[in-house]
């Protein structure tokens, strides 16, 4: 059974419906750090929203944890760097909140420009005051969108529907595509100087932290307003408050804050500010969607080793064909280190096409397999390259044309060369040290070099039989009749060093290696 800790009021019925078989679900709501530390060691996976924080002290106690699933986009509440170091995959649901966040953006824009909260308050106080709440139209205004990912693009489409001019800034998106849908791409300075409404839709990075500060605010028009439904620390609240209070910009609407919940909120004294408590994703539809998607991603990972939307992994989605090569690459890593004895001067050779395009993930898998045999810490595909760098392992990648196989992965060291591929969803080692073989890499395998002479199989088989070790399969790879060969013997139980020594002393045997996969 996979033990799953479900936090932060994720939709219980949805998760239960998806994670029915093979999963033990424990719903805890929101937990403080000390509460989480006391229980996290019991779980293989965590599902959560933004309420609970997954910190370094928590992760240090999470010895079983393999995956953290964030039901939403942002992972600010998760120490992703520490999770990566501990080999824990962090997944999110990047599309689940898109429509809700987009619509909340327009709810705030319209509320701000039409003074809806103030008018509502006035009515509740018994007044009929129409003159104080004269607003502005969106039609004909210029909206500046900072960040044109999924949410930013949806905001752009709706702004065009309102008859607005749309300008945008994002150095990481296709200019051609955005111009096709009616967005003029400009530099940040020009956007700030020309927009009537500025809306933020960026991730929190070192480059975007306090992107909105006294310098950028000073570029804005005096009658401009700013909306933040992205990440709180993107805006310097101290600088924004000063500009709003002094009337140097017209207004703001905030859904996110530098610290959540905020300990102090000076904005509440300002009439030209609308505040909501991080409601961008708080719709029935969005919560249902992200709960469903993150539960499916978790199920797929544990049931079929499928990785989707991992934020600390080289690729977002993996094809079934590459899944097979990932496992093959890991097995090659395990075999390599047991054969070679160390990790140094390694060459990973990928055939052009599928393997070339996915070599970063396959290299991670190779070193996961290799390092897991020599380190006493948990090694996974998300942290294997960290350990490789720390240990100054020297390795390189090469790309070649493969004539005999459509997809071929080869690893070379000082003393060993292994090539592998897949046939009809079955992994095979097809060459070892230049000798053609057909080895299914699983279980316990004895590999030895020998002369291709009569009696090899019989004498080795007899020796193993005398020690009550059963042979499951045997394979001989040779280049010419009567020359040198490599023999692979798959056994049902592990022979000790004494047995290996006896085999190595046979007159036709050279070296021998025991490989445990």
Measured in degrees and rounded to the nearest 5, phi and psi for residue 199 equal: -125, 135
Active-site choice (260, 321, 356, 397): 260
Contact 301, 89 (CB under 8 A): yes
Measured in degrees and rounded to the nearest 5, phi and psi for residue 413 equal: -125, -160
**Residue 231 is among the residues annotated as catalytic for this protein:** yes
Contact 36, 58 (CB under 8 A): yes
Active-site choice (49, 201, 278, 334): 278
Dist. CA 310–CA 89, nearest whole Å? 6
Contact 214, 241 (CB under 8 A): no
Active-site choice (231, 289, 299, 334): 231
Token pair of 267, please? Answer: 């904005």
Considering only CA atoms, which of 438, 428, 506 is closest in space to residue 475? 438
Dist. CA 87–CA 381, nearest whole Å? 7
**Residue 293 is among the residues annotated as catalytic for this protein:** no
Q: Write the DSSP string, 229-285.
A: -S-GGGB-HHHHHHHHHTTSS-EEEES--SSSS-S--GGGG-TTEEE-SS-TT-SHH
Dist. CA 67–CA 71, nearest whole Å? 13
Measured in degrees and rounded to the nearest 5, phi and psi for residue 152 equal: -60, -40
Contact 62, 85 (CB under 8 A): no
Coil, helix or strand for 415? coil
Q: Write the DSSP string, 132-185.
A: GG----STT-EEEEE--SHHHHHHHHHHHHTT-EEEEE-TTS-HHHHHHTTEEE
**Residue 260 is among the residues annotated as catalytic for this protein:** yes
DSSP assignment letter at 78: B
Dist. CA 345–CA 385, nearest whole Å? 15
Dist. CA 459–CA 464, nearest whole Å? 9
Contact 428, 419 (CB under 8 A): no
User: First vs last Cα of the chain: how many Å apart?
Assistant: 23
Considering only CA atoms, which of 263, 264, 267 is closest in space to residue 239? 267
Contact 92, 276 (CB under 8 A): no
Please list the active-site residues: 231, 260, 278
């Amino acid at each position: 059974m996979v033990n799953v800790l479900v936090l932060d009021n994720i939709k219980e019925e949805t998760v239960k419906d998806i994670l029915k078989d093979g999963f033990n679900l424990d719903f805890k709501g929101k937990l403080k750090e000390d509460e989480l530390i006391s229980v996290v060691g019991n779980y293989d996976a965590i599902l959560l929203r933004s309420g609970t924080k997954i910190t370094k002290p928590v992760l240090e106690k999470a010895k079983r944890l393999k995956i953290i699933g964030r039901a939403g986009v942002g992972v600010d509440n998760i120490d992703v760097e520490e999770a990566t170091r501990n080999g824990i995959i962090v997944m999110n649901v990047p599309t689940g909140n898109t429509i809700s966040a987009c619509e909340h953006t327009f709810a705030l824009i319209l509320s701000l420009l039409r003074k809806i909260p103030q008018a509502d308050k006035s009515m509740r106080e018994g007044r009929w005051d129409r003159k104080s709440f004269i607003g502005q139209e969106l039609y004909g205004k210029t909206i500046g969108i900072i960040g044109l990912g999924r949410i930013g693009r949806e905001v752009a489409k709706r702004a065009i529907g309102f008859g607005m001019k749309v300008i945008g800034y994002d150095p990481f998106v296709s200019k051609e595509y955005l111009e096709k849908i009616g967005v003029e791409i400009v530099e940040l300075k020009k956007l700030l100087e020309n927009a009537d409404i500025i809306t933020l839709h960026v991730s929190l990075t070192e480059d975007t932290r306090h992107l909105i500060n006294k310098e950028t605010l000073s570029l804005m028009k005096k009658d401009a307003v700013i909306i933040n439904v992205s990440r709180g620390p993107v805006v310097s609240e101290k600088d924004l408050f000063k500009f709003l209070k002094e009337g140097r910009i017209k207004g703001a609407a905030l859904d996110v804050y530098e610290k959540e919940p905020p300990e102090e909120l000076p904005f509440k004294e300002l009439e030209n500010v609308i505040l909501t408590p991080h409601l961008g994703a708080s719709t029935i539809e969005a919560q249902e969607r992200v709960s469903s998607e993150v539960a499916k991603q978790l199920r797929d990972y544990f049931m079929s080793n499928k990785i989707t939307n991992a934020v600390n992994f080289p690729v977002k989605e993996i094809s079934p064909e590459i899944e097979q090569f990932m496992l093959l690459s890991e097995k090659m890593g395990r075999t390599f280190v047991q054969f070679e004895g160390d990790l140094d001067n390694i060459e990973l050779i990928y055939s052009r096409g599928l393997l070339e395009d996915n070599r970063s993930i396959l290299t991670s898998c190779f070193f996961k397999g290799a390092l897991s045999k020599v380190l006493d810490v948990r090694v996974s595909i998300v942290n294997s390259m960290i350990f490789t760098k720390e240990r100054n392992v020297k390795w390189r990648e090469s790309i070649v044309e493969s004539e005999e196989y459509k997809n071929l992965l080869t690893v070379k060291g000082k003393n060993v060369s292994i090539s592998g591929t897949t046939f009809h969803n079955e992994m095979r080692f097809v060459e070892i040290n230049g000798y053609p073989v057909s080895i299914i890499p699983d279980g316990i395998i004895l590999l030895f070099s020998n002369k291709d002479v009569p009696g090899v199989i019989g004498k080795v088989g007899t020796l193993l039989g005398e020690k009550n070790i059963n042979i499951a399969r045997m394979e001989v790879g040779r280049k010419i009749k009567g020359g040198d060969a490599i023999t692979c013997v798959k056994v049902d139980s592990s022979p000790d060093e004494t047995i290996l020594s006896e085999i190595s002393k046979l007159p036709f045997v050279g070296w021998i290696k025991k490989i445990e996969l």
